[in-house]
Chain A
Amino acid sequence: MAGYLIKRIVFMIPILLGITVICFAVMHLAPGSPTDLQTQMNPRASAELKERLKAMYDLDKPIHVQYWLWLKRIVVLDFGRSFSPDRRPVVEKIKERLPITIALNLLSLLAILAVAIPLGVMAAVHRGSIFDNITSVFVFVGFAMPTFWLALLLMIFFGIYLGWLPISGIRSLNYEYLPPLAALWDLIKHLILPVFLSAFGGLAGFSRFMRANMLEVIRQDYIMTARAKGLTEKRVIYRHALRNALLPVITILGLSVPGLIGGSVVFETIFAIPGMGQLFYMAVMARDYPTVMGILFMGAVLTLIGNLLADIAYAWADPRIRVR
């Protein structure tokens, strides 16, 4: 296991370097240079200030030297200071918002698993039944659904028409004065819609995948053996088949990380949730380049970590992987 782990981590290094190259390339896409844009917007920028900015971003050096100097800062997560009026270091701004985004994404992953696994298994076991057909209609609509639109509709219905759920932020204004249980309920009420919607996107794909897995496993010889030795159908499905059908889910969990993180931009913006996604959106709108670059890099690194965790979990769950 240790050997496998080391191998996986070593494989990550070239990918990580590649990520930095892409980030660096994106940064240099701007017509002119990052500092040009910053000083153009500021009419008071003197020639001297321009020079200082230029030196700060090493723009007076050849491009490979620029990359090297930038890389040295990135490995210690020094993304520079935000262009926004607060001028705070980007890494601090990300740090205070990252936990919210990760918590929301973990919640929606849990929601996806809790719904998609039973749905896929039932659809596969009762293949061709009305339930299976309804599920596949749901899957098709789910694939085509613009989730930000669904968010609007649910906000109108539950937030405005029924008035049951709040439609912005993660806590009410009087949050601090609420007793603990009421405060928890307040938080849950704020999270229901964002978590449901962020889970909705992955639900369709996941349940379809689960159904296909289950159909594949049910066909195997060991399932026939289990049936032949007279086990109840329940035992065959839930003990023998399900455990094997669940294995590939681990990989898909890892692969769904970038989609979830990317989606957080949309949901955090719609529901005014103070997470990394909202920060990214605000940074893009304000052309706060250091923040944009920092979050772009962090997003890719989070995906890489997600994939690594999935690989480790898979190797832990399935010994065949470790040996290979």
Chain B
Amino acid sequence: MSDKIPVTVLTGYLGAGKTTLLNRILTEQHGKKYAVIVNEFGEIGIDNDLVVGADEEVFEMNNGCICCTVRGDLIRIIEGLMKRRGKFDAIIVETTGLADPAPVAQTFFVDQDVSDKARLDAVVTVADAKWLTERLKDAPEAKNQIAFADVIILNKTDLVSPEELAEVEARIRAINPYATLHRTQRAAVPLDAVLGRNAFDLDRILAIEPAFLEEGEGHHHHHDHDHDHDHGCGPGCAHDHGGLKHYHDEHMQSVSIKLGEVDPEKFMPWINDLTQREGPKILRSKGILAFKNEPKRFVFQGVHMILDGDLQRDWKPGEERQSRLVFIGRDLDAEMIRAGAQACAA
């Protein structure tokens, strides 16, 4: 009937400040009404008749795809909410601190009834500046949440020194160089930085410009904060690139690829095969492709094995017809992915 309801997924490890951010969203005067799906009742400090308790029931789909999991409770709750869609403007889904964001995100692509009525706006991850580095070592969930994020709220920055802050940011960037990062105290962030991001909208994937890529290519780096050189080389060695500490996470990494025009006849089978085979390891993927003899940009993004892609706007006059791809995942074979992408060159 009318437009799809935007859904923001709020993740973050235990104690990072998710509930603080949620309470801020619900109490701030913004003239919008949110239906909030929470995992634990009672944490929300205010009355809202559209706060719904969820059980985080993750279901496997019987479609032969092992990583194709959905949140069964979410399907049911969204179906229920849609009966009263005039009551709210958007939906926020809060996940538990230990949750994997993938089943939530996949629900919006896999379930037809949900995707007909709601669309994923962004995955927002709240991270604790003081403890995230530790959690990245001992909690795979925390790493997943960072890897998955479109927006990262690096909270409690008042509890760390500038050096520690630089350290934790470098750790985040080693896993996810693409998410928009906001440094906050008490989760104080402008709400438009969190809501209405359209991060899953193909039309909004305007550029894929990871900080490191720019820097590695000698562009001016906008993260111009003061850094020192006495950091310890812990697990995941850090080396200095003259701007930002550059870590390699042992298990979670991103692979970004730049190439010229590609042949769609080669690219489509390759990306489908890659995501089918490596889907369990690939958390997120995005790409802007210049197909040979195609005036429009082809844009895609994916969550594990699920891909969504379309021809988008025309390449602008003078715009370099360049293809860019990024994969964020666990134990990715970067060389294999790179070689596969290169072989699609037109």
Check if A and B associate.
Answer: no
Q: Which residues of B come within 8 Å of A, CB atoms? A: none
